[in-house]
Each structure stands twice: as C-alpha cells, then as structure tokens.
Amino acid sequence: MSPASRTNKKISEYSLSIVTGGSSGIGKTVIERILKVESGSRICNISRTKPPLFFNDTNTQHLECDLSSRKDRATALSRLLNLLNDEEDKGPILLVNNAGFGLYDTVSAKPSSEHLELLEVNIAALVDITVTLLPILKKRGGSIINIASTSAFQATPYLASYGASKSFVLNWTLALNEEFRNTNINALAVCPGPTRTNFFRRAGLTQRVIPDGYSSSSEEVVEATFKALAKGKSLVTTGLKSKLVSAFSSRLPKTLGTRLAGKIINKYRPAK
C-alpha cells in the first residue's frame, strides 16, 4: 500500500482484519459489515466470548481473552503474532480497537478495582495491541480504527473514568495518525453518541433510560465509520444529533461544559 492510499481505503483492500470486542454491539456489526463486503474475508476477533458469526472455518479466528488481564493479553498477542508470522498473504491489515465498557455512578460508589478494570480494557489493551502490532503494520501497511465516544469531548460526571478513558482514545488516535502522516498507516478515531447495544446494561443501566430519539443503531455507526475510513479521515462523530451536541459542548468553557454534562448524565443514573 503506497502512502497515497492512506485515503480511499476500501474494506476489500485489507488482507486481514483484527477486531476487539466482536462478540456483540458495534464490534459484531463491524464483522458483519466486513463479511458482507467480502464473504471470505480473514478476520481475527479478540474478546471473552466467540462472535456468533464465527464458524470453524479457516478464515475466522477467535482469540479468547479478557482484555482487562495483562496475562491474558500477553497470551492472545503471542498467538496473534504467531498467526501473522504464518500468513502467506502479507497484505495490509485493518485493526479495529472496539472493546470497551462504561461505569455509570459517582466515582466513590465503585471500588478502585472496577475503575482500573475499565482503564485496562478501554486504554491499556488498545495501546498494548496497537503498539505490539505497529512493526508489522509498518511492513504491511494498514489502518487502525479506535472506537472512542462523544464522551471524549468533555468531562463526564457520573461517567468520570469512562469519559476520561475515551478522551485518551480520541487524543492518542489523532496523535498517532499525525505521527504516521506520509506513511502507509493511518488511524481513525470514531466518536459514536448513544448506540443501541448491550453497553447500557453492562454499565449498570436499563434499556429504557437510553434517550429517545437520540440513539443510533450499530449499523449506522459502522456505516459512518467505513465512510470516514474511505475518505481518509482521522476523526468521525457518528450521527447528526451527536455531531451537533458535541460541536456545542466542545465550545463551552470547560467548567460549564462539565456542569451541563453532569446534569444530563445524572438523569440517566440507575434509581437507588
């Protein structure tokens, strides 16, 4: 892949896709989308549960891994490196760091172990996997898609660790893409607003608290993601409402933005 093809990237150009968290929600839809474009695509998924679409064929590989565990990550990454080493087709790679979860509540309501588990999955695993794969990406060319969130654009009281983790993902991805300007690697930060997946249940909320009329399907998020990748963008906020709300909140003074975000997020906290 030449440096010029940092833009105009099509799914069919990648010889292998590596997805984290492909067992449900946005990650599962990413896999569905790749298989829809190229039914025989080679995909490697990293999560605790096997994606429902994975059968025992040679093109799909599931690496079972709890991404919050450094030991599990080391084992999965070593298996992944062996797999990459054994490949005949050494074409470009698509890496989609999607796995992540949120914690809704006051900071003090959760033990530090839960905050640290979130930081391991949302930040440490993403950095670990990306940095480990960079030497191979440099040789083969490719793209990195990191799933951040609109929570990245301001401080998020009652979702404090989650929002801050997504600010890291957003800024780290933008910096990475800039460092790789004029090379055969590009990085795209995706910032979805509320999306109808298992995310809210996992974060301790019930489905009914997802704001009506302000949520997208995972298909809409993935559609916007691959459009942005094809255009060579480094950042995409998916959905018109999310774009407008994020544009507004990023322009507010930091303290006022935090106050407003806290008032809104507090409404969606589980009733005690």
Residue 260 CB, shortest distance to ligand NAP, in Å, is 18
Contacting range for ligand NAP; rule: CB under 6 A; set: 8-16, 22-30, 129-137, 264-272: 22-30
Give residue number: closest CB to ligand NAP: 25
C-alpha span between 203 and 270 (Å, rounded): 10
Q: Are the C-beta atoms of residues 53 and 33 closer than 8 Å to each other?
A: no
Residue 60 as a binder of ligand NAP (CB under 6 A): the answer is: no
C-alpha span between 235 and 191 (Å, rounded): 8
Residue 25 as a binder of ligand NAP (CB under 6 A): the answer is: yes
Q: In what side-by-side order are the strands of the sheet with 235-238? A: 60-64, 43-47, 16-20, 93-97, 142-147, 185-192, 235-238
C-alpha span between 59 and 40 (Å, rounded): 7
Under DSSP, is residue 51 helix (H, G, I), strand (E, B) or coil? coil
C-alpha span between 167 and 228 (Å, rounded): 19
Under DSSP, is residue 272 helix (H, G, I), strand (E, B) or coil? coil
Q: Given candidates 79, 90, 202, 243, which one binds ligand NAP under the rule CB under 6 A?
A: 202
Q: Which is nearer to ligand NAP, 54 or 180 (CB)?
A: 54
Contacting range for ligand NAP; rule: CB under 6 A; set: 45-53, 74-82, 178-186, 255-263: 45-53
Contacting range for ligand NAP; rule: CB under 6 A; set: 66-74, 82-90, 108-116, 224-232: 66-74
Under DSSP, is residue 113 helix (H, G, I), strand (E, B) or coil? helix
Q: Which is nearer to ligand NAP, 93 or 152 (CB)?
A: 152
Interacting residues of 254 by C-beta distance below 8 A, sequence separation 6+: 154, 155
Q: Given candidates 23, 154, 161, 225, which one binds ligand NAP under the rule CB under 6 A?
A: 23
Contact map string, positions 119 to 148, toward ligand NAP, x by CB under 6 A: --x-------------------------x-
CA 120: distance to chain centroid? Answer: 14
Residue 173 as a binder of ligand NAP (CB under 6 A): the answer is: no
Residue 149 as a binder of ligand NAP (CB under 6 A): the answer is: yes
State the residues that interact with ligand NAP by CB under 6 A.
Answer: 21, 23-27, 47-49, 65-68, 98-101, 121, 147, 149, 192, 194-195, 197-199, 202
